[in-house]
Structure 1
Amino acid sequence: MRIAADALQPQIFEWAKQRPKHANANALVGQQRALNALQQALSIGGRYAHGFVVTPAGMRTSDVLQQVQNQQQWVHADKFDWVYVANPESASQPLCVNVPCSKANDFLIKLWEVLQADVAVRKPLIDFIKEAYPSERVARYLELIADKTFDDLPGTELATVIVTHDEHEPFMMCDRVTEASLFGSIRLQSVEGTISSDLHLIEAGAILKANGGVLAIDAEELLLQPGLWRKLKYILKTSEFDWPQPGDSNVAAYYQPQAIPVHLKVLLLGERDIYAQLRELDRDFDNLFPYLADFSSHYSISQEPLQAYFDYLAYVEREAAVLPLASDAYPALFKFVTRITDFQTELSLDTIAIMQLLREACAIARERNATAIAADDISSALKQRESREGYIAELSRRAILEGQVYIETEGEVIGQINGLTVITAGGHEFGEPTRITATVHYGDGDIIDIDRKSELSGSIHTKGVMILSAYIANVFARNEAMALSATIVFEQSYHEVDGDSASLAELCCLLSALAEAPIQQGLAITGAVDQFGRVQAIGAVNEKIEGYFELCRTRGLTGHQGVIIPAANLSQLNLADDVIAAVKADKFHVFAIEHVGEALELLTQSEQKQLYAKIEQRLNELQQIEREVSWWRRWFN
């Protein structure tokens, strides 16, 4: 089936017409599944109700979590200011007390007044403090120092504020994870040659600063630091924070502040692979982190309204701080965001990638003193990016044009076909045609994959060759073995070949050699095949088509060139404007097929029945020869 030019890209112009007059910036578009999971996790208390947040590439995590917090108003436990106070019974074991949010400094003033007052007149002041700062820890400490003076307290410091915050402050993010940043530290000092610590040398980490609220931790950073994961688990399971010994192991100094109770919600942020590994390797993980908030990198307009995506784009434009988009820029932007996802009805939620493109386009627009970003600005930005990253692709194409790599794009040849491959170099993908050849000879029915024999074939490619061998055996050797063997190879391929996207091309090439039917060299083909000849989807279809088109255009389009792809890949087509224009002008063609028979008819310009009849006739002739040879062998033996 020949594909019309209109089907080679998404309906980007129709989408642009649906742009609303006003859009409300929203970073949470298309994330309802994850939002529901966060709501569940954050509404349930306890030490076994933490969550893991899957953060796809390009998501600005802090923006997303901030907006979620604003909408859901995360509240889990009472927040307090935490203060360490001098312990009259032990200089090396200060005590911790908790007071209401933002009241730590006021409490210390009152505590100072108590110690300054005469013991005989302290009771009314102590009673006032107990009433103003209701806390069991405060009450116990006031009883402990009720008859003490400054001289009875060890050291030179009365207290230090460890954590102070207001009740409605947002979550805390710990994305640069170290032992000190997460758990805090106790520093040491040297006084007259004596190594010791003191109250002012106690520094809280993210766990204590977020105590009573929400702490978001970068999972990869956490797991890269030896021992931190185990230490975090212990705190979550015991709901208590014990300070480590100050200094390193070579310094003998004992200073052990009282443990602080911990009640917080932890959200680990990371990729899906990290989540899978933690579930598999850590038996405590499922118990501590039962909630998965899976943020999506795509927005499906087949399931959600397109209007909401304009709200997401408004958020991206705001964060990118660029010129406004002109009306003709939206189709170009839609083409870009669908190209990232590889599906015509999926729009990308990769905030950083879209911001980068808009900023590049904005710079181009400002150079021409424009007041808005136009479609040409976005196209120019993409062309500049292609120029920056396309050096390897250019070298590859030049090798073909100069004849160093032999690829034919005209004429017809028996047992030779142009397959389509994709190469990734430095994160940049580009399509490249590859010549596949097949020969047949008298034998016992084996199909020899030269790449596998020379250890240049990956396991998936080897599987593909086995599948096409099974198809040929199923069609032509059901009752008796074929007396014909074949060899197949990727010509001028000097690195490992993997993937099954060339199995359709290899099968057509083998059948061409068996039927002695020439293949049109102007057509290139990609697709996987199953044992029944059905054609299956492959990856990077746009890059493969564009790579072959660029070669044909450089040599000169003849109107007889094109590509054959699986029909299952139609929903992924999103081709460059040059390719679409050539298809519309009937200078280049894109065909979609569902069975190997359709591919053979396009490639050989012959009907499948005729080709298979030729193969059957040839196999029968060889089978007769095989019987005669076998008879003479038995006679002489």
Structure 2
Amino acid sequence: MRVAAAALQPAIQEWAAQRPQSVSSNALVGQQRALSALQQALNIGGRYAHSYVVTPAGMRIYDVIKEVEARHHWVHAQKYDWVYVANPDSAFEPLWVNLPAGSAQSFVVQLLTFFQTDINVRGPLRDHMVETFATERVAHYLDLVIDHTFEELPGNELANIIVSHNGDEPFILCDRVTEASLFGSIRLQSVEGTISSGLHLIEAGAILKANGGILAIDAEELLLQPGLWRKLKYILRTSQFHWPQPGDAKIATYYQPEAIPVQIKIFLLGERDIYAQLREHDRDFDNLFPFLADFSSHYSLQKEPLTPYFDYLKYVEEQAAILPLADDAYPALLKFVTRITDFHTELSLDTIAIMQLLREACALARAEQAQTLQGRYIQQAIQQREQRNGYIAELSRRSILEGQVYIQTEEAVVGQINGLTVVTAGGHEFGEPTRITATVHYGDGDIIDIDRKSELSGNIHTKGVMILSAYIANVFARNEAMALSATIVFEQSYHEVDGDSASLAELCCLLSALAEAPIQQGIAITGAVDQFGRVQAIGAVNEKIEGYFELCRTRGLNGSQGVIIPQANLSQLNLNDDVIAAVADEEFHIYAINDVSEALELLTQVQQKQLYERIEQRLNELQQGEREVPWWRRWFE
């Protein structure tokens, strides 16, 4: 089936026309699955209700979690200020006092006044402080030191504010995980050769700063240091934070602040692979992190209406701090976000990638002193990006044009076909054709993959060759062995070949050699095939088509060139304007097929039935000749 130009990209113009007049910034569009999981986690207290958050590439984690916390507060959140105070019984074991959030500074001032007041008249001040800082620990500590003067306290320090909350902090994000940043530290000092610690050397980490609220931790950073993961699990299981001994094992010192009770909600942020590994290798993980919040990198138009996506684009526009988007900017932007996802009905939620493009386009607009960001600036930014990244692709195409790599794009040849591959170089993907050839000879039906024999074939490619061998055996050697064998190879390929996207091309090439039917060299082909000849989807279809089109355009389009792709890949087509224009003018063609028979008819201009009759006639002649020659002559000859 020949694909019309209108089907080569999504309905971008129609989508742009649906943009509402009024939009509101929203970072959480299309994330209902993840939001539901986090809402459930935030409705539950206790130590066994934390959440693992899958964070796709390009998501601005801080923005997303801030928005989540604004919508769904942790029901059991209760934040305090934390102060360590001098222990009247030990200079090395300070005690903790928790205070209403934001009151730590006032408490320390009043505590100093308390010790400066005569012991006999402290009662009213004690009652005032208990009423002002209404926690049990305040009352307990004041009763403990009610008859002590400051001079009687061991050491020369009164208090140290460990955690103080200034305003409504929604959560704490720990994305640079070290032992000090997560758990805090107790530093050491040397005074006249004596190493010791003290109240002022206690420094809280993210766990204590987030105590009573939400702590988000980067999972990969955490797991790079296994000791930190074990320590975190212990805190979550016991709900107690115990300070490590200051210094290392070589320094004999003792300083042990009282353990602080911990009530916290943990969001562990990371990739899906890390989540799978933790579930498989850590038996405690499922108990501590039963909630999976799976954030998506795509917005599916099959499940959601288009209109909310413009709220997401508004959020990206605000974060990028760019010029206002003009009306004609939306078609170019929508094409870009669908191109990232590789599907017609899915839009990208890769915030950083979209921001990068918009900022680059905005720089071009500001250079021309434009007042709005127009579509031509976005297209220009995309073209500049392709030009920056296209050096390797240009070298590859030049090697073909100069004849160093032999690729035909005209005439017809037996046993030779142009397959399509995708090359990844430095994070940039581009498509290029590769010449596949096949020869047949007398034998026992084996198909020899030269790339595999020379150890240049990956496992998936080897599997693909075995599948096409099974197809040929099923069609032509169901009742008796074939008297023909074949060899197949990727010509001028000097690196490992992997993947099964060339298996359809290899099968057509083999059948061409068996039937001695020439293949049109102007038509390249990509697709995987199963044992019954059904054509299956492949990846990077746009890059493959555009790579071959550029070669044909440089040599000169003649109206007979084109590409054969699987029908299943139609929903992924999102080609550039040059390809669409060439298809509309019938200078270049794209064919979508479901079965190998359709590909053979397009490539050889011969119906499959006639083609297979040629192959069977040839095989019968060989089988007849084999039976007429005595076995001993065949052996010695």
User: Per the shorter chain, which TM-score range?
Assistant: over 0.9
Q: Which residue of 1 aligns with 2:46?
A: 46
Query: Quick one: which amino acid aligns to residue 293 of structure 1?
Result: A
Q: Which residue of 1 aligns with 2:122?
A: 122
Offset at 1:84?
A: 0.5
1-side partners of 2:371 and 2:110: how far apart? 60
Q: Which residue of 1 aligns with 2:152?
A: 152
Q: Which residue of 1 aligns with 2:16?
A: 16
Q: TM-score, normalised by structure 2?
A: 0.98
1:343 partner SS: coil
Q: Which residue of 2 aligns with 1:421?
A: 421
Q: Which deviates more, 28-37 or 326-335? A: 326-335
Q: TM-score, normalised by structure 1?
A: 0.98
1-side partners of 2:201 and 2:539: how far apart? 58
After TM superposition, list the pairs within 5 Å mapping 1:267-286 onto structure 2: 267-286=267-286
Q: Which residue of 2 aligns with 1:233?
A: 233
The 8 Å contact of residues 76 and 265 in structure 1, kept in 2 or not, is answered as no
Query: Quick one: which amino acid aligns to residue 550 of structure 2?
Result: E
Q: Which residue of 2 aligns with 1:247?
A: 247
The 8 Å contact of residues 5 and 583 in structure 2, kept in 1 or not, is answered as yes
Q: Which deviates more, 181-190 or 561-570? A: 181-190
2-side partners of 1:99 and 1:118: how far apart? 25
Q: Which residue of 2 aligns with 1:316?
A: 316
Q: Which residue of 2 aligns with 1:401?
A: 401
1-side partners of 2:89 and 2:628: how far apart? 108
Q: Which deviates more, 68-77 or 172-181? A: 68-77
2-side partners of 1:629 and 1:47: how far apart? 83
Q: Which residue of 2 aligns with 1:617?
A: 617
1-side partners of 2:635 and 2:113: how far apart? 121
1:258 partner SS: coil
The 8 Å contact of residues 44 and 75 in structure 2, kept in 1 or not, is answered as no
1-side partners of 2:178 and 2:635: how far apart? 84
Query: Quick one: which amino acid aligns to residue 348 of structure 1?
Result: S
2:144 pairs with 1:137: no
The 8 Å contact of residues 57 and 297 in structure 1, kept in 2 or not, is answered as yes
Offset at 1:114?
A: 2.5
Query: Quick one: which amino acid aligns to residue 180 of structure 2?
Result: A
2:487 pairs with 1:487: yes
Query: Quick one: which amino acid aligns to residue 521 of structure 1?
Result: Q
Q: Which residue of 2 aligns with 1:433?
A: 433
Query: Quick one: which amino acid aligns to residue 88 of structure 2?
Result: P
Q: Which residue of 1 aligns with 2:222?
A: 222
Q: Which residue of 1 aligns with 2:534?
A: 534
The 8 Å contact of residues 566 and 592 in structure 2, kept in 1 or not, is answered as yes
After TM superposition, list the pairs within 5 Å mapping 1:568-587 onto structure 2: 568-587=568-587
Q: Which residue of 2 aligns with 1:451?
A: 451
Q: Which residue of 2 aligns with 1:301?
A: 301
2:424 partner SS: strand
Offset at 1:166?
A: 5.1
2-side partners of 1:491 and 1:402: how far apart? 17
2:24 partner SS: coil
2:480 partner SS: coil
The 8 Å contact of residues 75 and 213 in structure 1, kept in 2 or not, is answered as no
Q: Which residue of 2 aligns with 1:600?
A: 600
Offset at 1:139?
A: 2.3
Identity of aligned residues (%): 77
Q: Which residue of 2 aligns with 1:333?
A: 333
Q: Which deviates more, 419-428 or 12-21? A: 12-21
After TM superposition, list the pairs within 5 Å mapping 1:91-110 onto structure 2: 91-110=91-110
2-side partners of 1:578 and 1:434: how far apart? 22
The 8 Å contact of residues 206 and 215 in structure 2, kept in 1 or not, is answered as yes
1:579 partner SS: helix
1:227 partner SS: helix
After superposition, what is the alpha-carbon deviation per residue over 1:304-363, rounded to whole angstroms, capped at 9, x for unaligned? 111001100111111111111111111111110000000011000000100111111111
Offset at 1:255?
A: 0.7
2-side partners of 1:205 and 1:553: how far apart? 61
Offset at 1:208?
A: 0.2
2-side partners of 1:457 and 1:168: how far apart? 59
Q: Which residue of 2 aligns with 1:472?
A: 472
1:423 partner SS: strand
1-side partners of 2:635 and 2:229: how far apart? 78
Q: Which residue of 2 aligns with 1:26?
A: 26
Q: Which residue of 2 aligns with 1:357?
A: 357
After superposition, what is the alpha-carbon deviation per residue over 1:234-280, rounded to whole angstroms, capped at 9, x for unaligned? 11111100111112332222111110000000101111111111111
After superposition, what is the alpha-carbon deviation per residue over 1:445-486, rounded to whole angstroms, capped at 9, x for unaligned? 000000000000000000000000000000001100001100
Offset at 1:110?
A: 2.8
Task: Rate the CA distance shift 1:630–1:300 in 2: closer, same or farther, 3 A.
Answer: farther
Tell me how many residue pairs correspond in the alignment.
637
Offset at 1:630?
A: 5.2
Task: Rate the CA distance shift 1:635–1:378 in 2: closer, same or farther, 3 A.
Answer: closer
2-side partners of 1:79 and 1:211: how far apart? 7
Task: Rate the CA distance shift 1:74–1:636 in 2: closer, same or farther, 3 A.
Answer: closer
2:261 pairs with 1:257: no
Q: Which residue of 2 aligns with 1:510?
A: 510
2-side partners of 1:618 and 1:554: how far apart? 40
Q: Which residue of 1 aligns with 2:184?
A: 184
Query: Quick one: which amino acid aligns to residue 232 of structure 1?
Result: L
Query: Quick one: which amino acid aligns to residue 419 of structure 1?
Result: G
Offset at 1:86?
A: 0.5
2:292 partner SS: strand
Query: Quick one: which amino acid aligns to residue 189 of structure 1?
Result: Q
Offset at 1:539?
A: 0.2
- What residue ranges of structure 2 are gaps of 5+ in the alignment? none
1:70 partner SS: helix
Offset at 1:379?
A: 1.1
Query: Quick one: which amino acid aligns to residue 603 of structure 2?
Result: L
2:38 partner SS: helix
Q: Which residue of 2 aligns with 1:56?
A: 56
Query: Quick one: which amino acid aligns to residue 134 of structure 2?
Result: P
Query: Quick one: which amino acid aligns to residue 567 of structure 2?
Result: A
2:563 pairs with 1:559: no
Task: Rate the CA distance shift 1:357–1:2 in 2: closer, same or farther, 3 A.
Answer: same
2:139 partner SS: helix
The 8 Å contact of residues 80 and 101 in structure 2, kept in 1 or not, is answered as yes
The 8 Å contact of residues 45 and 75 in structure 2, kept in 1 or not, is answered as no
Q: CA RMSD in A?
A: 1.4
The 8 Å contact of residues 79 and 167 in structure 1, kept in 2 or not, is answered as no
2:37 pairs with 1:37: yes
1-side partners of 2:146 and 2:419: how far apart? 89
Offset at 1:174?
A: 0.7
Task: Rate the CA distance shift 1:269–1:156 in 2: closer, same or farther, 3 A.
Answer: same
Task: Rate the CA distance shift 1:623–1:156 in 2: closer, same or farther, 3 A.
Answer: same
Task: Rate the CA distance shift 1:634–1:439 in 2: closer, same or farther, 3 A.
Answer: closer
Q: Which residue of 2 aligns with 1:196?
A: 196
1-side partners of 2:591 and 2:635: how far apart? 55
Offset at 1:517?
A: 0.3
2-side partners of 1:29 and 1:253: how far apart? 54
1-side partners of 2:632 and 2:287: how far apart? 75
1-side partners of 2:568 and 2:544: how far apart? 15
The 8 Å contact of residues 460 and 499 in structure 1, kept in 2 or not, is answered as yes
Task: Rate the CA distance shift 1:636–1:418 in 2: closer, same or farther, 3 A.
Answer: closer
Task: Rate the CA distance shift 1:143–1:630 in 2: closer, same or farther, 3 A.
Answer: farther
